[in-house]
Amino acid sequence: MRAFEPDSRLVGDVVASPHHGARIGCTAPDAIVLHYTGLPGGERDEAWRRDPGGEALKWLCDPRSQVSAHYLIEEDGRIIQLVPEARRAWHAGLSSWRGATDVNSLSIGVEIVNPGHAAGLPHFHERQIDGVIALCRDLITRHNIAPVRVLAHSDVSPGRKVDPGERFPWAELAFSGVGHWVEPAPLEDDSPLVFGEEGQPVRALQAMLALYGYGLPLTGVYDKTTRDVVAAFQRHFRQQRVDGAADVSTVKTLHEVLMGIRD
Ligand SMILES: [Zn+2]
């Protein structure tokens, strides 16, 4: 018998994780946070490289981890549910979006099996992305989730998290009706705003990033937080170069992203 009835007809299996609690301040999710499973680092890496899906699943249920997600998507596209959608899963950690700091309470967490940056960012499998798209479409329909609220873990935890990374196919998702996307402006030869600069252009950049939802104060100083948030934006919307420098292409793309909001 299954530990609980799955919320989606797309679920292939239920493997219950004990790591969840009541949603705080809201009863239903209105955002999706996408992750990759990554590698744990150290001596456990070998086992994770051999069986990344199996090891990730074990870890998300292991009392030592104190982490979970609502869903895990295997490399072959199989969808496993670990936590009921009505419950608050423990996937985002310290995070912020549009002023809210308890992102776990307002979101559905989806872990995608991929070893990530530590393994040189291997591409996601086609069938796996089909699974991500199908699941997200189902979540968006059932919970009425706005396109701008389909987020990367790196969007809500910039500087701390880099998943699902700059190879994640956000454009492909958007073409299938998942998430907000604009074509990135081409790279130009220009002198970008960079770490250490101060003044009105920096404050204007910070204001635009905060308007979209990123958690950063408007200090007018291109500090570490600003650099981390610019890198997070690039990882999602301007993947050709992720360096945390606000070049013309990045700023133009940010303008377009803001212009295109419909929610
Ligand atoms: Zn993550």
Provide the residue range defining the domain that includes 225.
Answer: 200-259
- Ligand 1 centroid distance, CA of 39 (Å): 11
> Within a domain: residue 123?
yes
Active-site residue, from 111, 126, 183, 256: 111
Residues 6+ apart with CB under 8 A from 204: none
Could you tell me if 226 and 146 lie in one domain?
no
Contact by Cβ (8 Å): 153, 165: no
Q: Single out the residue in 160, 175, 190 at which a domain terminates.
A: 175
Q: Is the peptide bond before 164 cis (omega within 30 degrees of 0)?
A: yes
d(CA 35, CA 164): 5
CB 32 within 8 Å of CB 144: no
Helices (H) and strands (E) in the chain, counts: 9, 8
Residue 19 domain-assigned (yes or no): yes
Is residue 187 one of the residues assigned to a domain?
no
> Ligand 1 centre and the CA of 163: distance in Å?
5
Domain count, the chain: 2
pLDDT digits (tens, 9 = 90+) for 173-230: 999 999 999 999 999 989 999 999 999 999 999 999 999 999 999 999 999 999 999 9
Domain end among 175, 192, 209? 175
pLDDT score recorded for residue 220:
98
Alpha helices, DSSP H only, in 110-242? 126-143, 153-156, 170-175, 200-212, 224-237
Active site residue 111: yes
| In a domain? residue 181 | no
CA of 110 to the centre of ligand 1 (A): 9
Residues 1-5 have a mean pLDDT of 88
Provide the CATH number for the domain around residue 154.
Answer: 3.40.80.10
CATH for 236 = 1.10.101.10
Provide the whole-model pTM: 0.97
Paired tokens of 28:
């239903």
